[in-house]
Structure 1
Amino acid sequence: MLNPENFLKELFNVAVQKAHPDDGLLTALSVVAKKINGRTIILGAGKGAAAMAAVAESYFEGDIEGVVVTPYKHGCPTKTIEVIEAAHPVPDHAGQVVARKMLAMVEDLTANDRVIFLVSGGGSSLLVLPPEVIELSEKQFINKQLLRSGASIDEINCVRKKLSQIKGGRLALRCAPATVHTFAISDVPGDSPSVIASGPTVPDDTRIDDAREILARYNIQVSDSVDLYLDEQSCRQPDWATLPETNTFTTIRTPQMSLDAAAEYALSKGIRPIILGDLEGESREVAKVHAGITRQIIKYDQPCKAPCVILSGGETTVTVKGNGRGGRNVEFLLSLTLELKGLKGVSAIACDTDGIDGTEDNAGAIMLENTYQRALLKQMNPRDYLENNDGYCFFNGLDALIFTGPTRTNVNDFRAIFIQV
């Protein structure tokens, strides 16, 4: 009989390993010429940017130059490409410095030149350059509100694109007439190129009115300067026709790939996988749906008999109302613990594949069959912790947090519920 804790942790490890760019990026780069007559500039942004840069610079021949930005502690050694670390998920001055440096690098490029852009989750916060009339502090304030509002990632990135000189295709416009080849690790449901890191090299498919509606719906407070800027931009649209037809976008890693890898591992252990795919919604509500499926399996053998494992990914949200600590994964797992109340034969894991759940130092946590009862014995009421958005402290009190450190990749959340009965 499988040890639930070991099995779940190995599932997560398999998912993270599959998300790494190494072989996938080299394979994707093979369709791009190793050497050209013009300049080759390598740029990148995201949690996997440094790891991707190390792979990319080993592929190209001749002189290359470039810079990438990645979160603090996510850097790794490179030979030629400069790696700069900045803040995530709320941007800081370092991210603004990198953005200006990138734009300076692509000035005066010709049709003989090319830009290799390496993008992964987290790039939206790391690559920050608000319009001149908007202060960085204003962008930070809006970002903090959005992160606590319960808005989905595509809604948050819609607003980010409208308040940027580099996101929403604007980097590609500055690179023209040079060709831009983008290679991406997706961390968003549906893998939309325009949503991954707010699509710096992809034409923006959203409108100013979309951003205004999102700001209003989530009651996001903005300054007069932001309001005025949005008004002025409402009648100005970038000329996407100036982008070279030779521009390409290749996704090298996706959440589905990691779910498939975990499913294959489960099958190798004789455990039937049920893949629910990329999911969105409030973390605690998504947990209730997972709990319902779990009970259906145990009671009715539907959609399959145990032993089995339910796998899901995506990016849920948390509308923060309490003062506790934790990200969306411990929120999910705490809600699941409360719903199942120690249901026999059920254990679960919920972690972020980047190794950081929200803004904390853990990747996520694990729930075992005895977690609920152990909490009650310690006089830890799961409902109280959930109402205070305090999943970190709940699982920390049970020594059930999972720490991996930065994984230097990101295909978003990974959840697995193992049912043995």
Structure 2
Amino acid sequence: MNAHRFATHSLTDLRIFRILSAALEAVDPYSAVKKHLPRITGNAHGLAIGKASIPMLTALAEAIPLSSALAISKHASGLNSSLFPVLLGGHPVPNLDSLRAGERALEFVAALSENDTLICLISGGGSALMTAPHEGISLEDMQTLTSLLLSCGARIDEINILRRQLDRVKGGGLARATRAKVVSLILSDVIGNPLEAIASGPTVPDPTTREDAIAVLKKYGIEKNAPVSIVDFLESGRLLPPFRKQAPGVHIIVGDNELAAQAALEQAGREGFSAEILTNELQGEAREAGVVLAKRLREEAARRPRPFCLIAGGETTVTMRGKGKGGRNQELALAAVDELRGLENVMLVSLATDGEDGPTDAAGAVVTGETRQRAERLGLDAADHLSRNDAYAFFDALGDLIRTSPTGTNVNDLTFLFVI
């Protein structure tokens, strides 16, 4: 991996490049699958779903003879995908390609027999990339609901409660649609690795109910704005066609946020930093998390010997208040600007491990003690940009957006607090 892909105006330290690289390399999806290859007897078939689907399925296809294979991804780039067909879907909002991918996935697994083994390679993003709504619910309904949920600050696990209730392919839908034995290799992008929440659990029974889904709508006050067809479906108790009973499957986590953070911790030690993982469960509003982490950095800078590195993993949320552009990592970083002003040799780096922070071309952003002063010289006000959810424009003007391009992996976010 090119360590210099993390470079910004403020971030030029090769030691930090290597720490960030170590985190992503530890959760490289190709290597992760190679390390967790299942033992298979009989005919094997590979179905990969999510942002990391192509490298995951490539690793499997190179190691195990597959009778058939299919990948559903956001990007066609990455490793050689000539070994299998690739379908592209929409993300974070499903599109017509997502609908086609969902129907194709159901056809793929339904064609298998009890003598076959279906190896599902699951990674984050699968919920949007593949969809097959229940009868009476349109793609447009799902798009409207998804946009509402993404803008109101709902957590990914809450969003996926609704998706599982409304979609034939989620909440174990893939596993119920096949007679084959099912083995799932999972790259987790959900805090705590709840299997039913990762890509909405296509091979895992749904532990939640329609009442739980309605509760999410009410929690965020969007039940009146949600499509009528969806609210009626959830409230009606309408019976669904009987499902084939889902046989117990095998589910293996091949990589997660904790693994990435641990690799960064170990690399920081090799670079001469004292290091500590603060949490792998960072969540809540991004702007609030940014202030909390910046205060922690200020406090630790006053008492710890240098250099040191603190690491926080997880996934925050953004409640849209303005019409600006950004992502949760950029907003977290923007909220830290005023708190870190004037501090010497400090740096906050926050990035999405998939390289895509919100609907932008940036993975995240960098803040130092000089960021506010540099911004003021350019006529930029951090508080104003934060009020408009416009972190992207702020950091773009400063040259402190991290642009890695899509990394091929996806294990939530990582925020690093450095004192150098």
Give the TM-score, by structure 2 length: 0.92
Q: Which residue of the other structure, out of 226, 231, 234, is the alignment partner of 2:235?
A: 231
Q: What is the aligned partner in structure 2 of residue 96 from structure 1?
A: 99
Question: What's the CA shift for 1:233?
Answer: 4.0
Check whether the contact 2:341–2:368 (CA below 8 A) recurs between aligned residues: no
Check whether the contact 2:29–2:408 (CA below 8 A) recurs between aligned residues: no
Q: What is the aligned partner in structure 1 of residue 45 from structure 2?
A: 41
Change (3 A) 1:216 1:234: farther
Measure the CA separation in 2 of the matches of 1:47 and 1:92: 15
Q: What is the aligned partner in structure 1 of residue 62 from structure 2?
A: 58
Q: What is the aligned partner in structure 2 of residue 399 from structure 1?
A: 399
Per the alignment, in what secondary structure is the counterpart of residue 160 of structure 1? helix
Measure the CA separation in 1 of the matches of 2:77 and 2:317: 24
Map 1:5-404 to 2 at 5 A: 5-6=12-13, 7-29=15-37, 31-33=38-40, 35-36=41-42, 39-61=43-65, 63-74=66-77, 76-175=79-178, 177-220=179-222, 221-233=225-237, 242-245=245-248, 247-278=249-280, 279-299=282-302, 301=303, 304-404=304-404
Question: What's the CA shift for 1:27?
Answer: 2.2
Check whether the contact 2:102–2:132 (CA below 8 A) recurs between aligned residues: yes
Question: What's the CA shift for 1:412?
Answer: 1.4
Measure the CA separation in 2 of the matches of 1:290 and 1:80: 45
Per the alignment, in what secondary structure is the counterpart of residue 192 of structure 2? helix
Measure the CA separation in 1 of the matches of 2:399 and 2:206: 44
Change (3 A) 1:234 1:289: farther
Structure 2 portions without partners, runs of 5+: 1-9
Amino acid at match of 2:401: L
Deviation string 1:282-334 (CA, Å, 9 cap, x unpaired) is 001111111221122133x2xx5432111111110000111111000110000
Per the alignment, in what secondary structure is the counterpart of residue 325 of structure 2? coil
Q: What is the aligned partner in structure 1 of residue 415 from structure 2?
A: 415
Amino acid at match of 2:28: H
Check whether the contact 2:51–2:75 (CA below 8 A) recurs between aligned residues: no
Measure the CA separation in 2 of the matches of 1:366 and 1:209: 41
Does 373-382 or 223-232 show the bigger shift? Answer: 223-232
Identity %: 34
Check whether the contact 2:34–2:59 (CA below 8 A) recurs between aligned residues: yes
Question: What's the CA shift for 1:192?
Answer: 1.1
Measure the CA separation in 1 of the matches of 2:130 and 2:123: 11
Give the aligned CA root-mean-square deviation in angstroms: 1.8
Per the alignment, in what secondary structure is the counterpart of residue 414 of structure 2? strand
Amino acid at match of 1:25: V
Measure the CA separation in 1 of the matches of 2:236 and 2:79: 41
Measure the CA separation in 2 of the matches of 1:223 and 1:4: 45
Would you say how many aligned residue pairs link Structure 1 and Structure 2?
Answer: 407
Question: What's the CA shift for 1:153?
Answer: 0.9
Check whether the contact 2:88–2:101 (CA below 8 A) recurs between aligned residues: no
Per the alignment, in what secondary structure is the counterpart of residue 288 of structure 1? helix
Measure the CA separation in 2 of the matches of 1:65 and 1:151: 37
Q: What is the aligned partner in structure 1 of residue 6 from structure 2?
A: none
Question: What's the CA shift for 1:235?
Answer: 6.2
Deviation string 1:141-180 (CA, Å, 9 cap, x unpaired) is 00001001111111011111111010111111111x3111
Give the TM-score, by structure 1 length: 0.92
Per the alignment, in what secondary structure is the counterpart of residue 191 of structure 1? coil
Check whether the contact 2:48–2:122 (CA below 8 A) recurs between aligned residues: yes
Q: What is the aligned partner in structure 1 of residue 7 from structure 2?
A: none
Per the alignment, in what secondary structure is the counterpart of residue 145 of structure 2? helix
Measure the CA separation in 2 of the matches of 1:253 and 1:378: 42
Question: What's the CA shift for 1:243?
Answer: 2.2
Deviation string 1:30-75 (CA, Å, 9 cap, x unpaired) is x322x51xx42211111100111111111112x5212111113545
